[in-house]
Amino acid sequence: MKQVLIRKGKVVVEEVPAPTIEKERVLVRLFNSCISAGTELSGISAGADPLWKKVLKHPEKVKKALRMVAAQGLSKTKSVIQGKMGSGDPTGYSASGVVIEVGKGINDISIDDRVACAGAQFAHHAEIIQVPRNLVVPIPKALDFSQASTVTLGAIALQGVRRAQPTLGETFVVIGLGLLGQLTSQLLKANGCRVIGTDLDKARLSLARKLGMDLSVESENGNVVEQVARLTDGMGADGVIITAATPSSEVVSTAFQMCRKKGRVVLVGDVGLNLNRADFYQKELDFFISTSYGPGRYDQRYEEQGLDYPASYVRWTENRNMSEYLKLLAEKRVRVEALINETFPIEKAFEAYQSLGKGTPRPLMVLLSYPQGHKSLEGKKVVPNPQAHPSTGKKIRLAVVGAGGFAKTMHLPNLQALSNAYHLRAIVSRTGHNASATAKQFGADYSSTDFNEILKDKDTDAVLIATRHSLHGSMVLEALQAGKHVLVEKPLAVSGDELNAIEKFYDTFKTKTPPVLLTGFNRRFSKYAEAIQEAVKERTNPMVLNYRMNAGYIPQDHWVHGIEGGGRNIGEACHIYDLFTFLTGAKIAKVSAQSLKPKTGYYNQKDNFVATLSFEDGSLATLTYTALGHRDYPKEQLELLADGKVITLNDYRELAGTGVRVPSLKGKIPDKGQKEELEAFARAVQKGGDWPIPLWQQLQASRVALAVEEFLQV
């Protein structure tokens, strides 16, 4: 399917894989999408900035890049940055179309329903989009697709008016009569208010008056504050809604001065905010910020997980604002026909964006239209990479499933370095533009959004699964059943049932050579772990192992804490349970754990715990896992005591021994064995023989994590 991307400040239309359906989401074949002159043009302008300007605007990203350099090295960091800059970003946040598929959990929307969609994460300029339920609303019968495609802009304007709480007969000033200002003016009129507008563009003032605005003030006719005072019998406006966009703080100052005592100002647009106390203190003014479409915006639980707010407590959510705006359009109480300047087919998206910067008066809004064919038009889930090179020799043809940050920073650069063993067959990602861009960056044969396409591909020998944790268990089993070798990022699974199903697959496997399974417990493959194992392999007594992981704080609403992640014990601490298994070579005898009970809601008790493992050989191991520490302190440290020997490992950078000679290993960045893990997997697939990690050990580390989790629930 075709999608609009912004790459280095330029608008491009590219062929990318169409999205697949997911739970509690709908697939929508677009008829129209809306391009606003404000938000999207500013995004293009920012994308065209040279790197030094981007650095000045976003110093926090520089700090993030420096931390990445310290953790992973310069070359991998450079690869990530170049990939991000070259891949292009999706754009668009307001669209309309017809539902072509409905995910599980949705029973109030059906195939062929006409809907309007919102969300900068979802309602992109693309032939087919995937949208969560709370960002979709039905289109009234009396309304066409073109008008409905403005739903996001309408909801933003409507939320700004709601924040102002206008009452019948009040006088409001709207500063900035761009698209949002035009809609705001009409919504205030529909609410029974007297509306005064101001803008530097006379044509916009004229248009607003034609659409119902009562009066206008212009700077060339004198001080606009004094003009508002005269038009309100010297009292001042009851309220001002700012829909302008400018870095200047004068707009806010002017808005305050226009108000009567006890008036209110609502900020919808993007303006400077160097506030002058004298402008609002004596009048005791109220200053409100309007957050986009309304309650629910920027709440992942609402927008992506389908959590709704009860209407009795939150009357107007972003979804209800969207729906109400469309009703106002259908009832002709708000009119947008005059605000739509032109409609371009998606193939001419470049010209569409160009048109917004031309002409007098400047256009307010243009639409994109999309080709309409047979109802079964769903879009291709596979897009070949024309830049790919054919596989040569007996390389492992590998598909990478999940093209997130870790895959791009770690696995894919390592696979490039191991091109003598691997040929990158495919990149699979839930978003088509990411799959396509990543395939081009790393030279994969094709990109896709559909995991099943990989399973059906006879030219795919193995898959590397790097999706979110909740998908691992089911994907591993499906890939094994399809005859593919599997390297899955930890955890192997997030439930006991999934682990049992994988174990049963191998118990009942009929042929002599089952597909290789390797869970990404990479630490055991590091040169440090191998040196430690070599140093203690002739021990005569059990060991004591103390491991401390200064894991770092992650906000409570991050996905790793939720259903998709399974928590940090299952998702990360499993690494250490495997390392203990590797070093002892023994089976587990007993597991116990105790978590810290935080006194505030900032910390999570499941992020702060001590797990104790007893092994059948008598060894004892403890893991202290905590998010309480400082990120500048080393993340991981191991202390091993056995037979009068002490071995310490500092953050996979330095190894030291007391009473025992160990190799002099020291590095500038942590080396946790990720590349060596891929090499071990390649040997197992190509040559057969023993697996890099025996199945019982993979299952043991995973089951220890589940056992610890039960203690953390208490």
434 to 4, 85, 251, 430, 431: CA distances (angstroms): 13, 12, 39, 8, 6
Using pLDDT thresholds of 50, 70 and 90, give the confidence band for residue 509. confident
Instruction: Give pLDDT, residue 349.
Output: 96
Other beta carbons less than 10 A from residue 223's beta carbon: 12
Buried b (16+ CB within 10 A) or exposed e, 7-38: eeeebebbbbbbbbeeeebbbbbbbbbbbbbb
Average pLDDT over every residue of 454-459: 96
Cα(591)–Cα(700) distance, rounded to whole angstroms?
A: 11
Share of the chain above pLDDT 90, in %: 85
Average pLDDT over every residue of 668-684: 96
Instruction: Give pLDDT, residue 219.
Output: 85
Judge residue 264's burial from the number of C-beta atoms within 10 Å of its C-beta, 0-12 exposed, 13-18 middle, 19 or more buried: buried
Average pLDDT over every residue of 145-166: 98
Cα(341)–Cα(355) distance, rounded to whole angstroms?
A: 9
| Cβ contact 622:610 at 8 Å | yes
302 to 151, 155, 238, 319, 697: CA distances (angstroms): 18, 16, 33, 10, 39
Average pLDDT over every residue of 347-352: 95
> For 528-540, what is each residue's pLDDT tens digit?
999 999 999 999 9
| Cβ contact 379:128 at 8 Å | yes
Cα(441)–Cα(444) distance, rounded to whole angstroms?
A: 8
Using pLDDT thresholds of 50, 70 and 90, give the confidence band for residue 693. very high
Q: Backbone phi, then psi, for 677, in 5-degree steps?
A: -60, -45
Instruction: Give pLDDT, residue 222.
Output: 86
Instruction: Give pLDDT, residue 314.
Output: 96
Judge residue 454's burial from the number of C-beta atoms within 10 Å of its C-beta, 0-12 exposed, 13-18 middle, 19 or more buried: buried
CA angle, 78 then 84 then 85, to 5°? 90
> For 30-67, what is each residue's pLDDT tens digit?
999 999 877 677 656 555 555 545 555 556 666 666 76
Average pLDDT over every residue of 456-474: 97
Instruction: Give pLDDT, residue 54.
Output: 53
Share of the chain above pLDDT 70, in %: 92
Match 């682990």 to its residue by tokens: 499
| Cβ contact 238:263 at 8 Å | yes
Instruction: Give pLDDT, residue 713.
Output: 86
Looking at per-residue pLDDT, the higher value among 553 and 509 belongs to 553
| Cβ contact 662:647 at 8 Å | yes
Cα(381)–Cα(449) distance, rounded to whole angstroms?
A: 6
Q: What is the token pair recorded at 58?
A: 């976003």
Using pLDDT thresholds of 50, 70 and 90, give the confidence band for residue 376. very low
Q: What is the token pair recorded at 119?
A: 């969300």
* Spatial CB neighbours of 511, under 8 Å, sequence gap ≥ 6: none
385 pLDDT more than 70: yes
> For 205-237, what is each residue's pLDDT tens digit?
999 999 999 999 998 888 999 999 999 999 999
Average pLDDT, the chain: 92
Q: Backbone phi, then psi, for 242, in 5-degree steps?
A: -95, 115
Q: Helix 250-258 crosses helix 224-231 at what angle (to 10 degrees)?
A: 20
387 pLDDT more than 60: yes
Classify 303 as helix, strand or coil: helix
Instruction: Give pLDDT, residue 663.
Output: 92
Q: Is the dihedral of CA 551, 556, 562, 564 positive or negative?
A: negative
Cα(389)–Cα(2) distance, rounded to whole angstroms?
A: 24
Instruction: Give pLDDT, residue 72.
Output: 65
Using pLDDT thresholds of 50, 70 and 90, give the confidence band for residue 129. very high
Across 587-679, the runs of DSSP E, i.e. the strands, are 588-595, 609-615, 620-626, 636-642, 645-650, 654-658
Instruction: Give pLDDT, residue 63.
Output: 66
Domains of the chain from N-terminus onward: 2-150+299-369 (3.90.180.10), 153-289 (3.40.50.720), 394-519 (3.40.50.720), 522-674+693-712 (3.30.360.10)
400 pLDDT more than 80: yes
Total length of the chain: 714
> For 180-212, what is each residue's pLDDT tens digit?
999 999 999 999 999 999 999 999 999 999 999
Instruction: Give pLDDT, residue 546.
Output: 98
- β-pair partners for 638: 547, 649
86 pLDDT more than 70: no
Average pLDDT over every residue of 438-456: 96
Using pLDDT thresholds of 50, 70 and 90, give the confidence band for residue 655. very high
Strands 10-15 and 2-7: antiparallel
Instruction: Give pLDDT, residue 620.
Output: 98
Instruction: Give pLDDT, residue 58.
Output: 58
Instruction: Give pLDDT, residue 48.
Output: 54
Residue in 669, 677, 649, 691 with CA at minimum distance from that of residue 531: 649
Instruction: Give pLDDT, residue 85.
Output: 58
Q: Which of 90-104, 205-219, 373-387, 609-623 has the lowest mean pLDDT?
A: 373-387
| Single pTM value for the model | 0.88
Cα(484)–Cα(504) distance, rounded to whole angstroms?
A: 17
> For 617-632, what is each residue's pLDDT tens digit?
999 999 999 999 999 9
| Cβ contact 672:652 at 8 Å | yes
Per DSSP, the residues of 309-360 read PPTTT-S--HHHHHHHHHHHHHTTSS--GGGEEEEEEGGGHHHHHHHHT-SS
137 pLDDT more than 60: yes
Instruction: Give pLDDT, residue 239.
Output: 98
Instruction: Give pLDDT, residue 57.
Output: 56
Q: Is the dihedral of CA 297, 300, 305, 309 positive or negative?
A: negative
Looking at per-residue pLDDT, the higher value among 87 and 4 belongs to 4
Match 């999408």 to its residue by tokens: 33
Q: Is the dihedral of CA 520, 525, 527, 531 positive or negative?
A: positive
Residue in 237, 238, 265 with CA at minimum distance from that of residue 251: 265
253 pLDDT more than 70: yes
Classify 1 as helix, strand or coil: coil
What torsion do the CA atoms of 482, 484, 489, 491 make, to the nearest 10 degrees?
A: 50
